Amino acid sequence: MPARADAGHAGSPCRLTLSGITFHHSNVPSPKGTGHMTPRILLRASWQTANIGDVAHAPGGIQAIQRAAPDAEIVLWPVWLDERERAMLAAHLPEVTIVEGGIDAGGCPDSAALQAEFDAADLLVHGSGPSPLRAGDVRAWRTVTGKPYGFLGVTFDPFDPPQQATLPELELMIGQLPPVYLDAGLRDLLDHAAFVYCRDSLSLAYLRAQGVRSDVLELGPDATFACDVVDHEAAAATMAEFGLAEGRFACVIPAVRWTPYYRLRGFAPGQEHWRRDAVNALYTEADMAPLREGIVAWVRRTGCPVLIVPEMVHEVELGLRYLASGYPDDVQPFVHHLPRFWPLEEAAGVYARAAAVFGHECHSPIIASSYGTPGLYVREPCDTVKGRMYADLGLPHAQVEVTDGAAAVVGWVERVIDDPAGMRAVTRAGNERARALLSEAATVVTKAAEDGAVSWRR
């Protein structure tokens, strides 16, 4: 899809060198002899490193595109990478280039490297996330370059901050919104996007009801479903540390309703942060009860252990406080706690060997699904509409509301115990469905990049 005529760069204060680009090998016909130029895709992702789910978005998106277009050049434009994540990308995706920089107050790239990438890339992709987190960066790309852009696997929750409601309640609320509810600036950005892939059907229904006019407005799952980044050696060492046998243990992940970002990132809290802390203080004990009951049911039915693990940094302490102790004497010896935050690839290796993964976080079950390990997302009411993605992929059993109580979690645990092969087959089918949809989306992404190359490199 070529860039739209009204998405040009006229009047941009940024330096443009479209007539003097140093052409990459993408201008050479592909080795397959198709005569097509190899597309160069700039992926805006890697939102934070305190969450292995957010870490997984970038490699998942890269791998989804690579599977659809092995010859594509992919450049990662990260928001936040630490040395641990840089080492992971270098080890597992060494062919991917990383470009640093941001957008300055004038709407221009603030580094020479990023400016050069704005000149060279054919397409900007906003990666999977809980919202269009970097819509401003996409807007800058559109203004500066006029080249195509799009959104891959993003949740568009109309309520910000998220409401304390279940998914059925949110669906009802979304249905009450007038068609002029969507922010005008975001509407304009989405209308002119080459593609908008929503990672859940509630987001998709919302944007369609709002009349968004992108050429492609479809369901496109979270890119984490396509992530294959695993460290088997680290996983084996962790299992040995706790005496875990493959297929004979479960992993459990706690969370609070509101993530205390001011503590994780070291900035001063304000009134809204204090309000959220108060909500957490009110509900955390009760929200942990269904997980605790699930742990008891698992241990007593199987005689196998449980490992309490984090998806986010602060959940190490959370798990120790709420889930690691206080069980009956016949259960307590089987409950173990990982006393540190762990890398994505180690977590993936452990989840691959687990019999079950369940808890309050959305992405650990997704990571586990790549290996057929059944997972359950026990959604808390302050989460976004992203939780609908499980039902969208034929996995309605993989998500319950914490307000459904302990019976919902225990029932799922018993289902895994009673029919392990069946649950693994259903889980694999859900992951394969996600990957098939991502493959279709990645094909569209690549076509948009190729059209951009034809438009801008002639």
Q: What is the pTM of this model?
A: 0.92
Give me 295's structure tokens. Answer: 């742990």
Give me 290's structure tokens. Answer: 């269904």
User: What is the structure's pLDDT at 162?
Assistant: 86
Residues of the chain falling short of pLDDT 50: 1-11, 16-35, 457-458
DSSP string, 289-303: HHHHHHHHHHHHHH-
Reported as a single tens digit per residue, the pLDDT across 131-185 is: 999 999 999 999 999 999 999 999 999 998 888 999 999 999 999 999 999 999 9
Q: How far apart are CA 289 and CA 142, in angstroms?
A: 48
Reported as a single tens digit per residue, the pLDDT across 348-400 is: 999 999 999 999 999 999 999 999 999 999 999 999 999 999 999 999 999 99
Q: How far apart are CA 59 and CA 63, in angstroms?
A: 6
User: What is the structure's pLDDT at 34?
Assistant: 42
Tell me the residue type at 398: A
Q: How far apart are CA 170 and CA 4, in angstroms?
A: 34
Reported as a single tens digit per residue, the pLDDT across 329-338 is: 999 999 999 9
**Helix H or strand E segment including 399:** strand 399-401
401 contacts 381 by C-beta, under 8 angstroms: yes
Beta bridge partners of 44: 77, 126
